[in-house]
Amino acid sequence: MIKKFIQDDAVGFLVRVGLGLIFVFASVDKILHPGAFARIVDNYQLLPGDLVNIFALILPMLELLCGLALILGVLVRPSAVWAGGMLVMFIVAVSLALAQGINISCGCFSTSAHARTLGFSLLLQDFGMLLLAIHAIYFDNHFLSISRLFRPRRAN
Amino acid sequence: MLAAAAILGLGSNALNPDGIPLVGYYPEIEYGPDSVIVPPSAEEGDPPFITLKEAYGKYHDPGTVFLDSREPEEYEIGHIKGALNLPFDWVDEYWPDVEPLLSTDAQIVIYCSGAECELSLFEGRYLRELGYQNIFIFFGGWSEWESRSFPTEIPENES
């Protein structure tokens, strides 16, 4: 029964679109405030200073593209792979920061200095989203997708 | 997809009037007032006072040492990441542990709780008398630093 539920087209659709919405939502404030996001990236102290700004400009755009692709159902599997890769990167970055006792705002959905700070609940949230990404990679759901809309019909 | 993100990210930044340089610091950072906070008891000849922006810049200079002049209990609750604790009220007890970590030509930034605390100034004068010349007082202190979510160390059970 659980297997049937996991394989259900509607569940796959909700996972795909839900993950896409999260990524789009997460990208918007970072794209609007690149300087503030660059500072947050720098605060993690994981990247050389010269790479911080470039990383802060590209990552939110990658989140946006992956999110839109998942919502629209275009390039679902590659987008889910990128989303999963980013989530693994977030999990590693947050874990390292927590291990070093760095207390900074996480830069997850907002670039505000008073936004959510790092913690284990954040790690759990990232692991949860990683499970959604793995589901999207494995089942490659195209239910109600643009790609299915434009797929050539089979000749009878 | 990465190439598309790179083109869109760098392209939108180039068109954005508030865009950031590809390398360097970040113009959108709000450091608060640029005017430096100076305590009423400051005297001519005191170590220079620096703004939050300058303190954050020096934080990235290799070899800079941040000294926290507050009580050990306050330091334990939270401090600037990497800062050493040299509580001015207990300076004689703590100095033997801190001295080996400071070369006389090291760039030293001293801070306290914030604008209500003058221990950083007193400690700056004390270190000057000992021969340390490259000293700066960040008078905005812990409260200003923490309010910007700059790197800190806070024990897990306190955060």
pLDDT digits (tens, 9 = 90+) for B65-115: 999 999 999 999 889 989 999 999 889 999 999 999 998 889 999 999 887
At residue B27, does pLDDT exceed 50? no
**Please, what sign has the CA dihedral across residues B20, B25, B31, B36?**
negative
Return the percentage of chain B with pLDDT > 90, whole number. Answer: 43
* Residue A65 confidence class, pLDDT cut points 50, 70, 90: very high
* Residue B159 confidence class, pLDDT cut points 50, 70, 90: very low
* Highest-confidence segment of A64-68, A122-126, B152-156: A64-68
Candidate from A91-95, A117-121, B19-23, B33-37 with smallest mean pLDDT: B33-37
Candidate from A110-114, B4-8, B44-48 with smallest mean pLDDT: A110-114
Chain B residues with at least one Cβ partner in A under 8 Å: 1-2, 4-6, 8-10, 12-13, 16, 18-24, 26-29, 60, 78, 81, 147-156, 159
Taking all residues of chain A, what is their mean pLDDT, rounded to a whole number?
A: 86
- pTM listed for this prediction: 0.61
pLDDT mean over A84-103: 86
Return the percentage of chain A with pLDDT > 70, whole number. Answer: 89
Note the pLDDT of residue B99: 93
- Residue pair A23/A65 in contact (Cβ under 8 Å)? The answer is no
Task: Spell out the residues 6+ positions from residue B141 whose beta carbon is closer than 8 angstroms to its own.
Answer: B111, B112, B113, B114, B115, B117, B120
| Residues A53, B10: C-beta atoms closer than 8 Å | no
CA distance B48 to B36: 10
Complex ipTM more than 0.85, yes or no: no
Note the pLDDT of residue B96: 94
Note the pLDDT of residue A108: 84
Residue pairs spanning A and B at CB distance below 8 A:
106
Across the interface, of B2, B27, B81, the residue whose CB is closest to A35 is B27
| Residues B155, A101: C-beta atoms closer than 8 Å | yes
Across the interface, of B21, B60, B149, the residue whose CB is closest to A113 is B149
Nearest to B19 by CA among A65, A42, A31, A110: A31
The full 3-state SS of chain B, as one line of letters, equals CHHHHHHHHHHHHHHCCCCCCCCCCCCCCCCCCCCCCCCCCCCCCCCCEECHHHHHHHHCCCCCEEEECCCHHHHHHCEECCCEECCHHHHHHHHHHHHHHCCCCCCEEEECCCCCCCHHHHHHHHHHHCCCCCEEEECCHHHHHHHCCCCEECCHHHC
At A3, give phi and psi (nearest 5°): -60, -40
